[in-house]
Structure 1
């Protein structure tokens, strides 16, 4: 790809506007030479296609965990003028507000490791997982509509956690504008039984410990110490979000023709932000995002209960932070020195706001937003900080994980779930999954090394290392 991309630094490369007819802005790739060698040509094409869309500002941005997605590359970020731009489901994805949160505890790895099998087995029962899994809750239509509007606040008001949890969620666990009237009956029927479930694919509930601290000041603010046990929860809006995206694509494909929008790829289906179609998609997307935050909040409560069952009370299981990976939001950013209101699409990307951002809780304003980057079962996860440089260069965005290097089908052809489980056990990691195929699909070998991806964003300055977390037990869908 070096014949296509122009080097700016060792960690940032430019795809110029001249690459493809119709590109309104360049594309910037945050990668190093190692990742360049495995960069998919189709992902480059997708980033170029995004740069042709109406109202796009500054650049089409690509994070180091990039791989081919639907329309937008996964790892893609784009900001569209809130008045003249468009909103696109391809820039959010099917798993709306797939996201991750991390809890800290007063427990040490030496205290938890002897009971890790019992703990993971109990968590596997307490938090249903797998394709089509149904939760322990049964909500009414009215309650579901309230969740669409209130998000994690609904969960807290119904006994699942505390108000402090809400302060430590992106958007306080609620994206303004969610409406149930634009969500189809089919989507609601898929969502009602799945509240409080992990789902399948790359979603997980992982027990970890803090292996290394890189930034003592930030770690202290977050309450992190080496040897401390943490819990990472990774899941999204389940079948509800998938159906909302599917339904919206049908509408927005028609909107492309209605508003005479020229696109190089039909998967970029979109509508003007100010149109009825655009507003309805945003409202349904926000409703799904709020469902996802409520979902993670409920799972958090059941996780705390399970830990208390095994280790007793007063475990200090506070929420460090919760971030979204697949979402579109209205934010203000500077473009060419001018403050603009933009509709920021992050697809497989994490918000990474710097110090003194008004959107952050008070305890994090002096250090910056916690950024949570999960690994892949056997590999490390990381906690980083958002930076002022990210605010200037990436609309306050960074990577979201490791990024696949094998499709799920390829992973299942090449790997065996039983062997993956045995390999992880030899590393001291106990894994419980609904079936072996999931372990093959989500094996560490199917992903880029989280160490490499995090090294890029750290050295590029768009998020800075705070701590490395090492898994000791994983519950998978």
Structure 2
């Protein structure tokens, strides 16, 4: 049986079901060590917020959103008035079509060919916990480190959390239809497709940031941080599966809070006991169904569009507003404290949201069902 280590304090919110999933993974053939991060929570068949080392490659441990990650892009704006900027965000549900939108300036970030030739869904955010956020650097804890990244208190950044959209799902489906939850029979072939999805996810984040920058009247910039947290890394001859866990071996990582809390830029220095990984976010403490039920009893839609920190949420999907409410997540401060106390990462700076984009805002009297009905009549 492989070893399991949970990097969280006794006071942290860790569901027993998530720990049980870690032990189920530890029982798989070839598994060596499972490192659970403080944002650990149950996933579909495998825990989210875990790094799992094995001599056998298991595609289901990474899941369908291969290449999902978070990138941070500096952005310069003359004035940052959330109410005005929220209205200027483009429709990031509408993909950029290389043929139809060939003149879009965002394509300048594309260097070479589109990975896997997968043009479907390019420059779209996706659902769930994915987002594009305009934020301000709040507190700098490590001025020297932040300066090397070109960041200082008061600077504006775009934070983009998105993945490989349908490409990763297609790769996983091709495996599971033939092999279920079993190992990859040809790891080299799987990794070749996997690596394309990782590159696609990174390109997608750059395209999203460029689209938003132009819409807000700014010039796009290269990311100062771009780390994937759903991937397989071959390290010392071992397959290191990360599902909702970011590389923490000397790299900078944006650990996302919620749309109503701070996020934290950290410098990872996790060792082998943590499978060289750090947390990727606050981690859910409620299922989507629970968040929807409790949220509807406690909040109105308009209350959820303006967050406790004064930021605005652009989201035309009412159900998603409740599912992704800040109260559905753990306290990000506790996650960061656990990372620091276990010597996995050092906080560099915090960011506070100004505008968080989820889906196009359809106005107060319309929701996603209205939009779907209209599309069905088109």
Instruction: Give yes or no for TM over 0.5.
Output: yes
Following superposition, the deviation at residue 156 of structure 1 comes to 11
Match of 1:347 among 240, 243, 247: 243
Question: Is contact 2:289–2:323 with CA below 8 Å preserved after alignment?
Answer: yes
In 2, Cα distance between equivalents of 1:425 and 1:43: 29
In 1, Cα distance between equivalents of 2:77 and 2:129: 26
- Per the alignment, do residues 228 and 46 of structure 1 end up closer, same or farther by CA in structure 2, a change over 3 Å counting? same
Q: 2:324 aligns to what?
A: 442
Computed over aligned residues only, the root mean square deviation of the Cα atoms, in angstroms, reads: 2.8
Following superposition, the deviation at residue 229 of structure 1 comes to 1.3
Paired residue secondary structure (1:193): coil
2:351 matches 1:469: yes
Following superposition, the deviation at residue 47 of structure 1 comes to 1.0
Question: Is contact 2:35–2:275 with CA below 8 Å preserved after alignment?
Answer: no
In 2, Cα distance between equivalents of 1:246 and 1:210: 40
Unpaired segments of 5 or more residues in structure 2?
360-378
Aligned length: 355
Q: How does 1:13-412 map to 2 (within 5 A)?
A: 23=1, 25-35=2-12, 38-57=13-32, 59-80=33-54, 85-107=55-77, 111-112=79-80, 114=81, 116-125=82-91, 128-129=92-93, 134-138=94-98, 159-160=108-109, 180=116, 192-253=119-180, 268-271=181-184, 275-276=185-186, 278-307=187-216, 309=217, 317-331=221-235, 340-354=236-250, 369-387=251-269, 390-412=270-292
Question: Is contact 1:408–1:441 with CA below 8 Å preserved after alignment?
Answer: yes
- Per the alignment, do residues 344 and 157 of structure 1 end up closer, same or farther by CA in structure 2, a change over 3 Å counting? farther
Following superposition, the deviation at residue 78 of structure 1 comes to 1.4
In 1, Cα distance between equivalents of 2:106 and 2:275: 33
In 1, Cα distance between equivalents of 2:106 and 2:131: 25
1:141-167 superposed Cα distances (whole Å, 9 cap, x missing partner) = xxxxxxxxxxxxxx999522689xxxx
In 2, Cα distance between equivalents of 1:76 and 1:282: 20
In 2, Cα distance between equivalents of 1:426 and 1:158: 36
Match of 2:295 among 400, 403, 415: 415
Structure (1 or 2) with the greater helix fraction: 1
TM-score of the two chains, using structure 2 as the length reference? 0.86
Following superposition, the deviation at residue 106 of structure 1 comes to 4.1
In 2, Cα distance between equivalents of 1:34 and 1:422: 30
Between structure 1 and structure 2, the one with the greater Rg is: 1
- Per the alignment, do residues 192 and 319 of structure 1 end up closer, same or farther by CA in structure 2, a change over 3 Å counting? closer
Question: Is contact 2:138–2:351 with CA below 8 Å preserved after alignment?
Answer: yes
In 1, Cα distance between equivalents of 2:337 and 2:77: 29
- Per the alignment, do residues 242 and 161 of structure 1 end up closer, same or farther by CA in structure 2, a change over 3 Å counting? closer
Question: Is contact 1:99–1:236 with CA below 8 Å preserved after alignment?
Answer: yes
Question: Is contact 2:263–2:352 with CA below 8 Å preserved after alignment?
Answer: yes
Q: 1:455 aligns to what?
A: 337
